[in-house]
């Protein structure tokens, strides 16, 4: 069992997480947006930590950060490596574990694995996973894999109009990104991933409710979204008889309940959500003549997602037609469900069993960088630890010290096993 024993201690993990949570702690919770001051400070602190652990810290052109054995220089794309890590950015007023936990795990496990036989283990930190600054769609993970086009750098901007290219140039001046290629373009990824691992808090209530230590994620749900604009007629609420109304808000209510019913009927892990509704004009005494409604459905299987989406859209049309209302159903962002590596999930499940850690296989309802690696054809695995009450994207996010430590030690053992015996 010696290959499973690990000297990783609570201060290695919890102490670093606490330190990391101080970058971006000006308001409630953690606010660390890609390339902002807190993010750059955290980035440089992580590089110093890597140095103190005997690792080299290398940034790529986009500010993704890698922790690696100094003997394994960047640009060694002839050597396949195990990549393990997560994201450094947060949502506005987020928690201290989302992303940060997997980032610390990548650092600690890369240090613990240095010099061991087999595939080298390289920690990674992505720069923009939450989409909370640029809304470019996983630009950190995509840039790490060389999947961000030059035009995108100017096409996305934050709420102040600062483009990705401008913000990146400022971060580069602070030493948080490597020189770009000609005309500021992307350069080749510094490492070649043989496989990719991410450790993350669950951000849902399942593991805690079932008293499990680990979740081995097999699939990441995809989603479909719509903005529904319903048009009827505004009229006096006191003088318009019930039978003569063209009320768009009651139509929206029917659509919302239909989506909920279809989501329930589809069974787990299907979910359907109406996240926003805005009736107009929005007064006591006016039947709402227009209404905007945002709907989203998620599922982990492409066909099931298509079926659920088709059902919800069909029901919206039926409701509008039945009430004599006009409907515009605009398709918003979509994400394809992603299967992670079954071979890696099998190795992880076997190891969890050997180490007597209570675990289950599961689907992630939330998107993660791991999805981008899997979509690029790299064998990828996501592992969850419990989140108290499932709360996340909130200052109340919490995972116990023992759960945090179990997760990192497990990933360390998993890396050792995969380094020596990577699945074919
Ligand atoms: Zn996250």
Each residue's pLDDT tens digit, 245-272: 999 999 999 999 999 999 999 999 999 9
Residue 185: band (very low, low, confident or very high) from pLDDT cuts 50, 70, 90: confident
Per-residue burial over 221-245, b = 16 or more CB atoms within 10 Å of its CB, e = otherwise:
bbbbbbebbbbbbbbeeeebeeeeb
Give the confidence band of 336 by pLDDT, cuts at 50, 70, 90: very high
pTM score of the predicted model: 0.90
- Ligand 1 centroid to Cα of residue 88, in Å, is 9
CA 354 to ligand 1 centroid distance, Å: 28
Instruction: Kindly give the distance from the C-alpha atom of residue 200 to the centroid of ligand 1, in angstroms, as a whole number.
Output: 7
Residue pair 105/411 in contact by the 8 Å Cβ criterion: yes
87: CA distance to ligand 1 center in Å? 7
What are 358-371's pLDDT values in tens digits? 999 999 999 999 99
Centre of ligand 1 to C-alpha 368, Å, is 6
Centre of ligand 1 from the C-alpha of residue 133, in Å: 14
**Has residue 404 got a pLDDT over 60?**
yes
In angstroms, the CA 254 to CA 320 distance is 10
Closest CA to 199 of 119, 300, 82: 82
Around ion ligand 1, residues with a beta carbon closer than 5 Å are: 98-99
* 333 band by pLDDT with thresholds 50, 70 and 90: confident
230 CB-near residues (< 8 Å, 6+ apart): 248, 251, 252, 290, 291, 292, 293, 320, 325, 326, 327
Structure tokens at 191: 């490492």
Please tell me the distance between residue 106's alpha carbon and the centre of ligand 1 in angstroms: 14
Interval between CA 77 and ligand 1 midpoint (Å): 27
Give me ligand 1 centre to Cα 351, in Å: 24
The predicted-structure confidence for 299-328, as pLDDT tens digits, reads as follows 999 999 999 999 999 999 999 999 999 999
Please give the distance of CA 162 from its chain centroid, rounded to a whole number. 23
Question: Is 6's pLDDT higher than 80?
Answer: no
Contact 231, 289 (CB under 8 A): yes
Query: Mean pLDDT score of the chain, rounded to an integer?
Result: 95
Tell me, what's the pLDDT at 135? 80
- Flag the least confident range among 66-80, 228-242, 283-297, 330-344: 66-80
Strands (E), 19-79: 56-59, 65-68
Q: What is the mean pLDDT of residues 390-400?
A: 96
Question: CA angle at residue 409 from 46 to 8, to 5 degrees?
Answer: 60
Q: What's the 99 CA to ligand 1 centre distance in angstroms?
A: 4
Ligand 1: centre distance to CA 288 (Å): 39
| Ligand 1 center–CA 140 separation, angstroms | 12
User: How many CB atoms are closer than 10 A to CB 48?
Assistant: 10
**What is the average pLDDT across 79-93?**
96
- Decide if 287 contacts 293 (C-beta within 8 A): no
Beta bridge partners of 235: 287
Pairing verdict, β 235-236 and 286-287:
antiparallel
């Amino acid at each position: 069992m010696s290959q499973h024993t690990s000297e990783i201690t609570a201060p290695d993990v919890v102490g670093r997480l606490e330190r990391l949570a101080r970058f971006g702690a000006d308001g409630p919770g953690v606010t660390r947006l890609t390339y902002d001051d807190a993010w750059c400070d955290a980035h440089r602190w992580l590089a110093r930590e890597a140095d103190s652990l005997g690792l080299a810290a290398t940034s790529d052109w986009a500010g993704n950060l890698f922790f690696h054995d100094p003997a394994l220089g960047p640009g060694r794309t002839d050597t396949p490596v195990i990549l393990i890590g997560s994201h450094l950015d947060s949502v506005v007023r987020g928690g201290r574990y989302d992303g940060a936990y997997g980032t610390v795990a990548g650092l600690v496990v890369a240090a613990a694995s240095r010099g061991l036989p087999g595939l080298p283990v390289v920690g990674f930190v992505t720069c923009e996973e939450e989409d909370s600054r640029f809304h470019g769609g996983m630009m950190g993970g995509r840039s790490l894999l060389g999947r961000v086009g030059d035009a995108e750098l100017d096409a996305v901007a934050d709420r102040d109009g600062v483009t990705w290219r401008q913000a990146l140039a400022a971060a580069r001046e602070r030493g948080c990104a490597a020189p770009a290629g000609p005309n500021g373009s992307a350069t080749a990824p510094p490492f070649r991933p043989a496989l990719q691992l991410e450790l993350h808090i669950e951000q849902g209530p399942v593991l805690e409710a079932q008293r499990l230590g680990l979740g081995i994620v097999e699939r990441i749900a995809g989603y479909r979204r719509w903005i529904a604009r319903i048009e009827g007629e505004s009229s006096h609420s006191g003088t318009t008889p019930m039978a003569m109304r063209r009320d768009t808000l009651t139509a929206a209510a029917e659509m919302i309940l239909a989506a909920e019913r279809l989501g329930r009927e589809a069974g787990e892990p299907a979910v359907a959500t109406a996240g926003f509704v805005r009736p107009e004009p929005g007064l006591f005494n006016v039947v709402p003549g227009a209404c905007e409604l945002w709907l989203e459905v998620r599922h982990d299987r492409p066909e099931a997602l298509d079926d659920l989406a088709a059902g919800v859209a069909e029901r919206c049309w039926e409701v509008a037609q039945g009430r004599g209302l006009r409907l515009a159903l605009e398709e918003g962002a979509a994400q394809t469900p992603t299967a992670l590596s079954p071979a890696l999930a099998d190795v992880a499940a076997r190891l969890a069993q050997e180490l007597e850690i209570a675990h289950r296989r599961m689907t992630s309802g939330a998107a993660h960088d791991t999805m981008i690696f899997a979509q690029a054809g790299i064998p990828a695995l996501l592992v969850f630890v419990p989140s108290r009450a499932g709360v996340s994207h909130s200052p109340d996010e919490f995972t116990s010290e023992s759960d945090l430590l179990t997760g990192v030690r497990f990933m360390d053992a998993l890396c050792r096993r995969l380094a020596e015996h990577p699945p074919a």
